[in-house]
Amino acid sequence: MKPNPADTSEVEYAPYREDTQLARYIKNYPRSFTRNPSQPLIQRPLTLSELTGPVALDQRLGISAQDIAHVSPASPRAIGQYIEVTGSVTDEDGAPLAGSMIEIWQANSAGKYIHEMDRHEAPIDPNFTGLGRFVTDAEGRYKFRSIKPGAYPVTESDWWWRPPHIHFSIFGPSWMNRFITQIFFPGEPLNETDLLLNAVQNPEARDRLIFETTPTVVGAVNFLTFRRDFVLRGKKRTPQLD
């Protein structure tokens, strides 16, 4: 990597558009009302500090195998529907973001996470950790195999079950496009009532929290395939005439 100072002023990071993001305050999601700031957020200039960010994270964090449905190549496959997830990470201009670290975490097929905060009585699968780390290739693409996560009840709610979803944490090239989200599966009845998925006003943006199904390939090993492309904030600045 060579220094390229010219690039900093060529990329624009506009604030997120409210209608394309989840609402900050969500009815029946009490912590959104006790944790979001009461004071208006403050506009600041973007300097080198905000326009840079951690890159080449594979030098700092370990990468996992591409198939997280197997704890090791020799171990039995995790219980559940075998899936393959693919997609790309680009900026708002559609330019691929190569070398982006992606972290994923998910429940097992019974809706159980290996986490001290998870008090759901569902069983742990000894052959599944539910976490993975991957890096996008030169075209900004990623691919991994896993099992489809199960739904699970929200501990403090008497009605809310989370639909199956996979958590994604993505590091773009800048502190401004550090990105965290959850991606849902198409056609799940619980999708219709999920407080988080339905907190996005814009229907096109809401759809981008849901995997697309893609045709399966018939072969010795079969799996359902899902695709989700991510668009991280950042686009080429339009030249100003002044």
Which residues does the annotation mark as catalytic?
113, 152, 162, 165, 167
Instruction: Classify 45 as helix, strand or coil.
Output: coil
Type and span of the H or E element at 180: strand 179-184
> Toward other proteins, which CB reaches closer, 177 or 223?
177
Whether 149 and 165 have beta carbons less than 8 Å apart is answered as: yes
* 156's tokens: 């403090």
Q: Which of residues 132-171 bind other proteins (CB under 8 A)?
A: 167, 169
Site for other proteins in 183-222 (CB under 8 A): 196, 199-200, 204-206, 208-209
Among 122, 137, 175, 190, binds other proteins (CB under 8 A): 175
Task: Give φ, ψ of 198 to 5 degrees.
Answer: -90, 10
Q: Which of 30, 123, 126, 186 binds other proteins (CB under 8 A)?
A: 30
Measured over the CA atoms of residue 133, residue 139, residue 144 and residue 149, the dihedral's sign is: positive
- Does 28 participate in binding other proteins (rule CB under 8 A)? no
End-to-end CA distance of the chain: 33
| Rounded distance between C-alpha atoms, residue 87 and residue 142, angstroms | 6
Specify the residue, 86 or 182, whose C-beta has the smaller distance to other proteins.
182
Is the separation of the CB atoms in 45 and 13 below 8 Å?
Answer: no
Nearest approach, Cβ of 224 to other proteins (angstroms)? Answer: 22
Pairwise CA distance, residues 45 & 176, whole Å: 12
Give whichever of 93 and 222 is closer to other proteins, judged by the CB atom. Answer: 93
The pattern of x and - marking residues 91 through 130 that bind other proteins according to CB under 8 A reads: -xxx--------x-x-x-----xxxxxx----------xx
Site pattern 48..77 for other proteins (x: CB under 8 A):
xxxxxxxx-x-xxx----------------
How many other CB atoms are found less than 10 A from the CB of residue 172? 23
Residue nearer to other proteins on the CB measure, 147 or 196: 196
Question: Residues 29, 82, 160, 161: which binds other proteins (CB under 8 A)?
Answer: 29
